[in-house]
Every structure is written in structure tokens, then in C-alpha cells.
Amino acid sequence: MSGSIPVGRVASLVGEVPSPAFNGLASRLASLIADGLLPLGLRLPSERDLASALGLSRTTVTRAYGVLREAGYAGARQGSGTWTQVPGGPARGRDRALLPQPDRPSLMDLTCAAPSGTPGLASAYAAAQAALPAYLTGHGYFPLGLPELREAIAARYRRRGLPTTPEQILVTSGAIAAIAAAAQALLDPGDRALVESPVYPNAVASLRRAGARVVTVPVDPDGWDLDAAQASLRQAAPRVAYLIPDYQNPTGLLMEDAERDRLAAALARTRTTAIVDESHADLHLDSGPRPAPMAAHCPTAITVGGSSKAFWGGLRVGWLRVPANQAGRLTQARLGLDLGAPILEQLVLTGLLTGPDASAGQQRQRLRLQRDLLAGALSDRLPSWRFRTPSGGLSLWCELPRPAAAALALECERRGLLITPGSVFAPDGGLASFVRLPYTRPTDDLLAAVDILDTAWRALDDRDTASEPVRILIA
Ligand SMILES: Cc1ncc(COP(=O)(O)O)c(C=O)c1O
């Protein structure tokens, strides 16, 4: 169990109880648990306390807890009260393809930099389901995306000062499908593509699959090497440059406006089209002004966006924002890959983007807390590791005092923790001194992970030549 909650807080979350009261209370509690507003493993208030806080009889609350248990949203053990859970258990949320030992429930996976569903997501699905019947009357193909979602996405850019029409938006099955469509549209076999190093490896795989010869430009923990980027652009004159200026994965870096200007000018000189991946852009965790979107500096840029990081990876909805004169070309490329994203999920995202938490404030608040906790615990326990606390994004990019990341990953895996060594993010190899540590898990898990990192690091002797585990990395 992960703690208790003041009864007044539960009462205010429950609010008005629909009648019949026992069922109404059970269904309010179930939806709060499903929405992540009441965390899993939480001890619910005693029946007597909740009854008095809600002005209900104790029998009503007892019956409500009974309904909740039957539906799988609560468990009870003699003497330890009633605690929250989800039907089927959280193990259903784990993917067997990604875990070396899927049946080892204690195995903690920090290889995936993607948060759990944003609070309120289950309700957003319920609302989308209610809106679905109108769409069932048609054939269900919306290869460019639902008009209302395209408008909601365009409005987001306009709010950030970048004029955008819905016609410039193409909804895709996640940001990764958007990258694949852009690569398909822009590249011919043998064309050069500039990428940062370290970089998100699945994007590089998409570029290579479209025939690109990849040229890298270094991003070190303190920032982009723009001199090197300019030199590479001049020498290689690449057809495209894949860039992650907003909370770069894996370094977490944010490119300043002046740097964006300078890079945009260099891209223009070589007529290189930027594919700008903004899939982390909404995860600004610190206050302060945000730089303008890269496309405001570089009007020919094709921008990739997504909902996986601010809301949930399971939505599988992303998008492209393209210059108006490129929409046809990108649409054609996209049709060879898939025929549109699922309607229900597009409705969910439309609801989220037009709802009260459109800026994912709750998700950001959770991530901020987790980032600060992980950064603090690492500084305390492993002071020889170096990292910069990023102002947004999902991970800490940690430099070890020696090139032992692969050995550390193996040592951690033996102890029940999966982490990704830096070489996975290096298209040319190297980066053996780095590990990426996402702060996407709850705080208790992160503290347990730091325990393991600390003991694994101490246990490392001369095994740092070990080869790294081969694993699928998705986020
Ligand atoms: C930089 C970057 N781009 C794209 C993706 C893929 O996102 P999606 O889940 O929207 O396909 C990820 C996932 O981690 C990412 O980090």
C-alpha cells in the first residue's frame, strides 16, 4: 500500500453523490481511481469517517465499498482497511515484448521515457465514446484527421504565436508515424540527413528506412554545438535535418531563440528542410518564457507533434504541421504508410486539447515533483555522476565518471532495474559514459531505483567491458 489520504480530500473529490447513494458513491470512487486522481494502493478512509464527511449513513458507504471491491477497484484485508486498485491489476500495463522477464513483477522499467496516463484520461475516453455514434454513420476513414482535432491542434500553434490553419495539420498514428511520413516524403535513397547525437534512435531508424545516409552533429550536456552544425550543413548539404530543439531526447536541452535563429539561417543557406520533433515541447516544467516554435524561425520546417508525452503513449495520436504548400506532398507520403489514426483516440485527444487541462498542467506538476526527487536523490547518493537538471522533458542525462554504462545497465538488471545506456542514443556509437534516467515513474519507484543504481554502481568492478543488453527501446 502506498499511504492514506485525508477524508476531506476524498469527500471533495467525490463531490455530489448521485442516487442511489451506494451505487453513486461506488461509481464516483471508481472513476476517480480509473482517472488516476486517487492513486493505486491508497488506503481509503474508514467507512465511518467517509460517511460522516459525506453526510451519508455508514451502511451506504459499506455497501459502496462492497460494490467497489466486486468491480475490482478496491481490495480489503482483515485489519488493513480498503485500498484502491484497478481491475486486472497494474501488470496489464506492461508489455511483454519490452521486458526481458515479463513475469518478474518487481522488475522496474526505466527504459521508457513516457509517463502514465494523465489524470482524467479515463473520463476523456468515456466522453469520446459518447461522441462516437455520430461517426459510426460514415466509413470511418479520416486520412488527414478529424476536422475538429486538426483545428484544436492548429489553435495551439496560434496561441504560441505561430499562425497555423487546420489545413496545415495532418493527424498521424503517433509522432513516430509523422516522422516516417516526413522522411518518406522528403528523402530519396542516398540523400543525406543530419541528426543530433545523442538522439532518439527510432527517428534515425525511420530516416534510414527512407534511404538516408545519416550525418551526426554533437549535442553535449551543455548544449548544441552550432559551429559544428553549421560546418556539417556546409560540407554535407543534407536534404533534411532532424532536430529536437524542445527538451531534446535524451539530453533534455532546450534551444534558445537566438540559437534557433542561427540554425534556421544555416539551414536556409543549404536549402535543408528541418523536420522538427516537438513531441516533448509541452513538458515545460519550470516557469519562464518559452522560445518560439522552431517553425516561427524557420518557415520551411515540418513540425512533428504528439500526445504521448503530455497525455499518454497509448493514445497513439501525433501530427505533422506542414507549410501550406507541402500539405499535398506529405498527405501522399502518409497514405502509403497508413490511412489515418483511430477515431476514438482522436476524439479523446480533441477533448483533452479543448478541455480544462489542455496544457497538461497536472501531468507537468507530477513530472516536476518526480524530476526534483530523482535529481535530489542522485546528487545525494551518487555525487560523482554529473547531470544538468533540465527545465522540461522526461529524463536526466547522466554522465558517469568512467565509460561503464553498459556494465551498469547489466548490473542493474540483475537487481531488478532496467535502464538504457547512452550508446543506444548514439547513431555513430560511443557515449559509453552516459545513461538516460527518465523521471516518469512514481516517487517511491524512483527512490527504489536510486537504491539499486547506488548498489549496482558500487558493485561494478572490472566488468565495464560487458556488452550491453539488446532490447527494444520505444520512448
Ligand atoms: C523525440 C521523440 N520523438 C518521437 C517519439 C515517439 O512518440 P509517439 O509515441 O508519439 O509515436 C518519442 C518517444 O519517445 C520521442 O522521444
Q: Is 198 in the pocket of ligand 1 (CB under 6 A)?
A: no
Same domain as 380, residue 318? no
- How far from chain centre, in Å, is Cα 249? 11
User: If you search the block for the grid coordinates 506542414, which residue do you land on?
Assistant: 322
Q: Please give the average per-residue pLDDT across 27-42, as a whole number.
A: 92
Q: Are residues 366 and 398 in the same domain?
A: yes
- pLDDT value, residue 82: 92
Count CB atoms within 10 A of the CB of residue 84. Answer: 22
- pLDDT in the model for residue 469: 63
Mean pLDDT of 412-431: 94
Enter the C-alpha cell of residue 418: 532496467
pLDDT at site 443: 94
Q: Is residue 309 part of a domain?
A: yes
Q: Say which CATH number the domain at 15 has.
A: 1.10.10.10
Q: Is the CB of 176 under 6 A from ligand 1?
A: yes
Mean pLDDT across the stretch 404-418? 94
What local confidence, expressed as pLDDT, does residue 76 receive? 87
Å from CA of 139 to ligand 1 middle: 29
Q: Residues 340, 398: one domain?
A: no
Rounded CA separation 190/311 (Å): 37
89 φ/ψ angles, rounded to the nearest 5 degrees: 85, 155
Shared domain for 182 and 252, answered yes or no, is yes
Question: Following DSSP, what letter does each residue of 255-321 receive, concatenated?
Answer: --HHHHHHHHHHHHHTTPEEEEE-TTTT-B-S-SPPPPPHHHH-TT-EEEEESTTTT-GGG--EEEE
Please report, rounded to a whole number, the percentage of residues in the chain having pLDDT higher than 70: 95
CATH number for 264: 3.40.640.10
CATH classification of the domain holding 436: 3.90.1150.10
351 lines ligand 1 (CB under 6 A): no
How do residues 178-205 score in pLDDT, each as one tens digit?
A: 999 999 999 999 999 999 999 999 999 9
Q: Using 50, 70 and 90 to split pLDDT, how confident is the model at 90?
A: confident
In a domain, 61, yes or no: yes
> What is the per-residue pLDDT for 440?
96
CB 294 within 8 A of CB 245: yes
Q: How far is the CA of 278 from the centre of ligand 1 (A)?
A: 9
Least confident of 80-94, 305-319, 460-474: 460-474
Q: What is residue 154's predicted lDDT score, i.e. its pLDDT? A: 98
- Rounded distance, CA 275 to CA 260, Å? 13
Task: Evaluate: CB of 456 within 6 angstroms of ligand 1.
Answer: no
Tell me the C-alpha to C-alpha distance, in Å, between residue 82 and each of 14, 43, 54, 208, 213.
Answer: 17, 6, 17, 53, 58
Of 200, 206, 253, 420, the residue with max ligand 1 atoms within 8 A of its CB, to mutate for a pocket test, comes to 200
| Same domain for 213 and 317 | yes
Q: In the chain, how many domains are there?
A: 3
355-389 pLDDT, tens per residue? 999 999 999 999 999 999 999 999 999 999 999 99
- The reply to whether 474 falls in a domain is no
Same-domain status, 85 and 98: no
Can you give the length of the chain in residues?
A: 475
Range of the domain at 237: 130-353
Q: Is residue 300 pLDDT above 90, yes or no?
A: yes
For 77-81, 111-115, 301-305, which range has the lowest pLDDT when averaged over its residues? 77-81
Same domain, 282 and 367: no
Q: Tell me how far the alpha carbon of residue 237 lies from the centroid of ligand 1, in angstroms.
A: 26
- The confidence score (pLDDT) of residue 327 equals 93
Query: What pLDDT score was predicted for residue 89?
Result: 78
For residues 270-294, average pLDDT:
97
CB of residue 244 inside a 6 A radius of ligand 1 = yes
Quick one: pLDDT at residue 88? Answer: 84
**Residues 349 and 369 occupy one common structural domain:** no
Q: What is the pLDDT of residue 459?
A: 94
201 alpha carbon – ligand 1 mean position (Å): 10
Does 117 sit in the ligand 1 pocket, CB within 6 Å?
no
For residue 174 and ligand 1, the question of a CB distance below 6 A is answered with yes
Widest CA span in the chain:
77
Q: 121 pLDDT exceeds 90?
A: yes
Read off the pLDDT band of 472 (50, 70, 90): confident
Q: In terms of domains, do 203 and 291 share one?
A: yes
pLDDT of residue 212 exceeding 80, the answer is yes
CA 124 to chain centre: 18
Q: What's residue 4's pLDDT?
A: 86
Query: Domain end: 323, 353, 383, which one?
Result: 353
Does the residue 189 lie in any domain?
yes
Q: d(Cα 460, Cα 456) in Å, to the nearest integer? A: 6
23 belongs to a structural domain: yes
pLDDT at 466 over 90: no
Residues 364 and 344 in one domain: no
Q: Is the CB of 45 under 6 A from ligand 1?
A: no
Q: Is residue 1 part of a domain?
A: no
Cα 176 to averaged position of ligand 1 atoms, centre (Å): 6
Are 244 and 281 in the same domain? yes
Q: What is the mean pLDDT of the chain?
A: 93
Q: Could you tell me if 147 and 220 lie in one domain?
A: yes
Which of 298, 331, 353 corresponds to the end of one domain? Answer: 353
